[in-house]
Structure 1
Amino acid sequence: MSQVGAPRGRTCSGRTCPRTFRSVALLTTGVLALPVLSACSSDHDNGKAAAADISPAARDALAQGGTLKWAVDSVPATLNAFQADADATTGTIAGAVLPSLFTLDKNGQPRADPDYLESAKIVKREPKQVVEYKLNQAAVWSDGREIGAPDFVAQWQALRGRNSAFWTARNAGYDRIEKIQRGKDDLDVKVTFSKPYADWESLFTPLYPKEVTATPGDFNDGARASLKTSAGPFQVKSVDRKEKETTLVRNPHWWGQPAKLSSIVLRAVPMDGRAAALASGELDVADVGTGAAQRISSAAGSSGSKARPAAGAEGEKAERGAEGANGQQAAKLSPAEQAAEKKRLAAARAATAAQAAKLKGKELAEFRDEQKALKAFSVRKSLEPAYTQLAMNGETGPLADDRVRRAVARAINRQKLADSVLKPLGLPSKTLGSHLAVAGQPAYADASDALGKQDAHEAQALLADAGWTPEGARKAPGDSTKAGSENKKTDTGKGTAGSADDTKKPGTKKSDEATSDGEKKSDAKKDAAKDDDGVKKSEDGKKSDDASDDKPAEQQPGGMAGAYAPRGSAAASQAAAPEGGPLGKNGKPLTLRFVLPSGQGSGQLRAVGDRIAGMLDKVGIRTEITKVPDSSFFKDYIASGAYDLALYSWPATAYPATDGRPIYAKPQPAADGSLMVEQNYTRVGTDRIDQLFDQAAGELDRKKEDTLLRQADARIWAAAGSIPLYQRPELVAARNDVRNVGAFGFQTPRYQDIGFTTLKGHEGPEGKADKSGKADETDKADKADKAGKGDKGAGKSSGDGGDGSGDDSGDGQS
């Protein structure tokens, strides 16, 4: 399975961790020279978001009832999304059964959900920020109690971080709330903040009933194995750890448009077993890897999904376009795209044929049967709200020198890497230019110019400037009494980048983005007049208190306002060095430990790693690739810092000011001498980056907030702790007769709109119950709701119509 970092702050959904969470920590090292900083303009091109590919269909085109079997990664350890062991399945369940006051649109922008909110807005900015929530008067918990102020107060008290008896994983935002007051009634909730909070829309999603959050005992244990009270289109029926599945059934007290499905079964199935589970009928929907996607495309042939993820107006046009024979989006492809699609299909068939050629007898017969069954599926694809990046551990070893980190970054051709992953899938092949947003989000702008484009000669110049030369590789170790100081043992007893033994030693925790903290003393001495970020002038053009009058080492016009990395100055011998010549310093070779996961689902990541190793070899940087089990990749290597280079992914977030900070914030020394890195596994960060995050989190003007985030991102690029490569592909195999589900991209799923075009093969006990007449009541309520007649009573009536239909659920995301 592809490696995705821990959630950035919120709940998880899908294979990558939360679509809305992200936590951060970062420490940048080295002295960076900056040009005079101009204010960022508000007309940045934020790109186009990849369209969702969910085979959309109107509700009245779907059958009423049926059980959807959906693959997930695990049975949830807890149903409380705010606990440390909450996982992707926890988030998926929360999205279907609990209030989400704000959901995300296709651009990752929060939108108030009218099922829960009549309105939510800032009603006061001075002297303190006050947000007023007016709740939907029909909104009730499944026990009949109305959703109101007591639920807000209880959740705030549990998550504010004042009482350690609550086992909470985060308190961001809740710790800024000063008080919560009831307005004219419990449906009118006023939240006053002690200091401004830009990401207030991230709070109270999901919202739990006060019975779950009122006391530490309730919070810690009350919602781990079951959730008795909920308020979504579905409710939790059971969590079966033995059968590895969680069953959700239609909520009889749901006041909104009733769920089309009678039940959803979330079934834990390993990635490498999902194609077989789809073919055998155990699954209807599943995230899959590229290999399984090829097999499904090969089986489907011309009847498979012909849609291409489109962006902006093109994407909207595709969603409105005619549907193909199997209900897939039928966006018209250009002749060039048709040729490319034909080529991809041919490649998929060739790969499948090659796989079949290795089999004989019974295995071959089973393989052919599986391919025949897979014709009922197609692959829905988009770009996931997550990005793959190259992380560089800057705490120790050669990468503690920011010049070496920048050399690594400048040696890599990011476009070729993106092409190798995305083009074969027919997805838009673009590099990602931001650490804090993905294309289509308002905060997105390409700030990679702050580091510089791919340039092998500049990479070699930076390495020479840092003392890594061909001559250095040939010198005897005894030539310097302090040779290889970067390669000393760390405090944990593990070797650093230069030690071959390190490749065999585990030692890292779950991570997502590595940053570095080592700061070269010589650089600090040389640029003592600069701040820790190398800033000479602040964003408003005024001198910082400690700014020097020196001119920046490199001005890069046309790039993002922010930090810019200085150029290297090549030594004569280095400039003349043949391409690919080994580099060293005082007889120590420049060799970096490159840690990659070894699991069956991580083949694509390893292929990218091999390409990166080849690119680095051309500038004289050697790598020692260590392949480790997926289960220990984060825990034993990344989080503990037992690596120099690594590849893994971070989920994107709708709230980068809050969720981005722990990943890029400057690590701080703890009382015991260790380094507190939060989620900043590269150990690279600066005070200025922290300041920009703090300012953005308190900026209530959205345009100004985005400007501050872009400035922070430019500095993160210049620090070169992590290098975003590309947005990850999102591949979802779905049965051709299931609609409104698939590759969602950033947008929040509407679970009540997911359904089948026909119940044939999906009836189960639930489908039969619906056919017995109860479905008719639900359909009537649905039509009444569309006509504006769906009041609170009607909502309950519609729910009652589907209640019993979910009692005997069958068997289902990752």
Structure 2
Amino acid sequence: MSHDGVGPRAVMRSVVFLTAGVLVVPALTGCGADDEVSKPVAGQDIAPAERALVADGGTLRWAMDAVPETLNTFQADADATTTRIAGAVLPSMFRLDASGRPQRNPDFLESAKVVETEPKQVVLYRLHQQAVWSDGREIGAADFAAQWRALSGKDSAYWTARNAGYDRIEKIERGKGNLEVKVTFSRPYADWKSLFSPLYPKDVMGTPDSFNDGARTKLKVTAGPFGLTKVDRKAGEVALARNPRWWGRPAKLSEIVLRAVPRDQRAAALAADKVDLAEVDPAEAERITLAARDKGGKPLAGPRAATTPAGALRSWAVAHGSDEKAADREISARKKRTKAIAKYADQQSALGGFVVRKSLEPTYTQLALNGSGGPLADERVRRAVARALDRTELAKLVLQPLGLPVVPVGSHLALSGQEAYADNSGALGGQDTTEAQALLTDAGWVLGGPVKEQKKTAGSEGKKARPTNGSGDGSGDDGTYVVGEDNKPSETDKEKKDPKDHTKQHGNEQPGKHADDQVGKHIDGRQYVHEQVGRGGAPGAYAPKGTAAPGGTSAGVLAKDGKPLTLRFVLPSGPGSESLRAVGARISRMLDRVGIRTEISKVSDDSYFKDHIASGEYDLALYSWPASAFPATDARPIYAKPVPAADGSLSVEQNYTRVGTDQVDQLFDQAIATLDEDEARDLVRKADARIWAAAGSIPLYQRPQLTAARPTLANAGSFGFQTPLFEDMGFLKKGAKPSAGPSQG
């Protein structure tokens, strides 16, 4: 759940209404051997430097969202910081390279390969001769076996969040010597490289008590370039110290301190010299970039940015006028502004000492369409929504201002650079307003049909719908309605705007390009206009039935069985979600062009996923999924067809769109069971094409990864796909310089 929006935890990914045969899916065959290998859309940006240029020692203070609830990555409340800590202090048999592909970790493995396939699959691990735990014990078969038993799913006393792969293991044995581990599978498992990364010691995995509780707040035994020395929840810190028993390349840093800093306070923390490295939101990244460009000069933005000369003159006049109370208030306000300006200027001066390292996260943002009921239960309506979207325009909205490549994501199951990636969006088709409208007509939605008075939509009870104002954050004059958490008007609502002023409403966009629509319902032969969007006209005005709409308007309202085609679009309301709300507003405009109205409901970030996405209380929503190097394992629960549970409810696993097919499930099952890597890749690509065709979710763009760092910090920043190499991070020696530009995967 980072700056671009709210999404399920990354660890969870390592964590019904379709008619079969209705849709013909083109190009479902996998790509051949002559296909060009894809490359990451953006390389990592970590200021790479040779180890000889990095000083020995020093403390890296690294911002995190919060002290993790658990240090056990296999528990349900593990988060991204849990994974970060595990990467520094625990073994991983395989780690990801800059292209998001699994590679053998030479610090722990001399080799790992499938040595038998008949009658059963057998994988033989040969461990590094010096690989030991921090207590001096050799890493070996006992640790592998303990982790398998804990995660196999056979013992319900272990509170595990995921068992995929471990449930296919039949037995684990010691090989010819202490350094060999022999793993026999009861069923073939293509993604065997995903297992034992991380690997916990048998001290953690050996009993339910140690698994459930023992590893939540401490790890007594570790094995990595760093060891865990402190978890201080009160201070909001986790400390990692260089491991003296580490047999690999010695860590350059003496210590890494992970410090809890809320995202909206990170610029201040950087300026106050509290952290050296922090992921930041786009607004803070822009502020840091401006500070670096204008180092030593006046701030280019801040508390005075919105003050016009006329406003300044009025302030002076009030402060020196005859109305003493008004003058006192104005003088007090001016003092506060002066202090704020001085504070901002000091922070800008300090922020000039940082740089922003930019890449793309191995995560993509999607538009989710809830197919469990309502209009979106009809796949033709879902496909119409998808065909109404210009995905390149949406990607440009988020990525272009940051100077990142504008490339829409073409797969649900992999990202460009990964082996399984192929652009399968052609199975659904690109933006086509005519085709979208034809699909809606075929589904029975009629333009200008009669609309009956409707009851309040689910989730909007006691909430006042208000027309939006097109400001780009989901509150715009774009044919949508906003439902807030309460009946209070937003700050934007308090601003009075000229309805004829399109430059304020839609930025630099051309008049008529977006919806200038009259959205209404027929009453007694007249059309009651709920909201006038565009050139003049007042809400509540009447127009004779059949009056032509002005040029450049949307398609008009669609209706079926007396109901308008209106979809509830749920978006997060908190700081850091501005880009999601901007994307949501733009999507609403695109849908309005084909006659689909949206009711935007802004909800708190805390309740967004749990109370709306996971519970199915939405029609449209934006959230993100992390890409996996093992999609056959990790993506299956996200796209599996929901099935009835024993209690009569619908078991959706992680498929929060509630859209799935038997064909997709079968392709995943086949992919996970073949040991032919080329065949497995082609089966995953076929599954992705069918997921596109079902139109339950529409991938949009990779999320930006923006990291503020000290210029002297090397081998750290925006890592992209690659697993961080903690032992190589450090501060440059005096006079040393990192490699020019971002490193490319």
Q: TM-score band (shorter)? A: 0.7 to 0.9
Root mean square deviation of aligned Cα:
2.9
- Of structures 1 and 2, the one with the larger relative CO (CA 8 A, separation 6+) is 1
In structure 2, the residue matched to 1:756 is: 731
Identity %: 61
Q: Does 2:660 correspond to 1:685?
A: yes
Choose the corresponding residue for 2:368, options 391, 394, 397: 391
For residue 247 of structure 1, give the secondary structure of its aligned residue in structure 2.
Answer: strand
Matches within 5 A, 1:38-187: 39-42=29-32, 43-49=34-40, 50-187=42-179
Partners of 2:234 and 2:451 lie apart in 1 by: 62
In structure 2, the residue matched to 1:422 is: 399
8 Å Cα contact 2:17/2:378 also seen in 1 = no
Shift of 1:264: 0.5
Offset from partner CA, 1:390-446 (integer Å, 9 cap, x none): 001110111111111111111111100111111111111011100000011111111
In structure 2, the residue matched to 1:295 is: 287
Matches within 5 A, 1:25-40: 32-34=22-24, 39-40=29-30
Q: Which moved more, 1:41-50 or 1:385-394?
A: 41-50
Distance change >3 Å, CA 5–CA 588, structure 1 → 2: same
Partners of 2:254 and 2:340 lie apart in 1 by: 37
Distance change >3 Å, CA 98–CA 759, structure 1 → 2: farther
For residue 444 of structure 1, give the secondary structure of its aligned residue in structure 2.
Answer: coil
Offset from partner CA, 1:677-720 (integer Å, 9 cap, x none): 01000000001100000111112111111100110000000000
Q: Does 2:422 correspond to 1:445?
A: yes
In structure 1, the residue matched to 2:275 is: 283
The gaps in structure 2 that reach 5 residues or longer are: 313-335, 467-479, 487-547, 736-745
Partners of 1:656 and 1:34 lie apart in 2 by: 24
Distance change >3 Å, CA 608–CA 45, structure 1 → 2: farther
Choose the corresponding residue for 1:413, options 380, 390, 398: 390
Partners of 1:302 and 1:577 lie apart in 2 by: 43
Partner letter of residue 443 of structure 1?
A
Q: Does 2:305 correspond to 1:354?
A: yes
Matches within 5 A, 1:790-801: none
Shift of 1:22: 3.7
Partners of 1:40 and 1:494 lie apart in 2 by: 48
Offset from partner CA, 1:617-670 (integer Å, 9 cap, x none): 111111111111111110111100111000111111111000000000001101
8 Å Cα contact 1:494/1:642 also seen in 2 = no
Offset from partner CA, 1:347-381 (integer Å, 9 cap, x none): x9568972798983111111111111011110000
Shift of 1:46: 4.9
In structure 1, the residue matched to 2:343 is: 366
Partners of 2:119 and 2:18 lie apart in 1 by: 35
Shift of 1:586: 2.2
TM-score, normalisation: structure 1: 0.73
Partners of 1:254 and 1:387 lie apart in 2 by: 36
Partners of 1:505 and 1:404 lie apart in 2 by: 28
Choose the corresponding residue for 2:598, options 608, 617, 623: 623
Shift of 1:488: 11
In structure 1, the residue matched to 2:528 is: none
In structure 2, the residue matched to 1:737 is: 712
8 Å Cα contact 1:28/1:683 also seen in 2 = no
Choose the corresponding residue for 2:569, options 587, 591, 594: 594
Partners of 1:9 and 1:135 lie apart in 2 by: 26
Partners of 1:387 and 1:714 lie apart in 2 by: 17
Partners of 2:98 and 2:338 lie apart in 1 by: 48
For residue 635 of structure 1, give the secondary structure of its aligned residue in structure 2.
Answer: helix
Distance change >3 Å, CA 165–CA 279, structure 1 → 2: same
In structure 2, the residue matched to 1:584 is: 559
For residue 69 of structure 2, give the secondary structure of its aligned residue in structure 1.
Answer: coil
Partner letter of residue 436 of structure 1?
L
In structure 2, the residue matched to 1:769 is: none
Task: Report how many residues are paired.
Answer: 626
Offset from partner CA, 1:457-506 (integer Å, 9 cap, x none): 1111111111111242x2557xxxxxx9xx9998x9999xx999995799
In structure 2, the residue matched to 1:510 is: none
For residue 422 of structure 2, give the secondary structure of its aligned residue in structure 1.
Answer: coil
Q: Does 2:634 correspond to 1:659?
A: yes
Partner letter of residue 620 of structure 1?
G
Choose the corresponding residue for 2:220, options 228, 233, 237: 228
In structure 1, the residue matched to 2:379 is: 402
Per residue, is there more helix in 1 or in 2?
A: 1
Distance change >3 Å, CA 615–CA 106, structure 1 → 2: same
In structure 1, the residue matched to 2:472 is: none
Choose the corresponding residue for 1:456, options 415, 428, 433: 433
In structure 1, the residue matched to 2:354 is: 377
Partner letter of residue 222 of structure 1?
G
8 Å Cα contact 1:30/1:719 also seen in 2 = no
For residue 741 of structure 1, give the secondary structure of its aligned residue in structure 2.
Answer: coil
Shift of 1:580: 2.6
Choose the corresponding residue for 1:2, options 1, 4, 18: 4
TM-score, normalisation: structure 2: 0.80
Runs of 4+ in structure 1 over 4 Å off: 26-31, 35-38, 348-353, 355-359, 487-490, 492-495, 498-506
In structure 2, the residue matched to 1:779 is: none
8 Å Cα contact 1:494/1:505 also seen in 2 = no
For residue 365 of structure 1, give the secondary structure of its aligned residue in structure 2.
Answer: helix
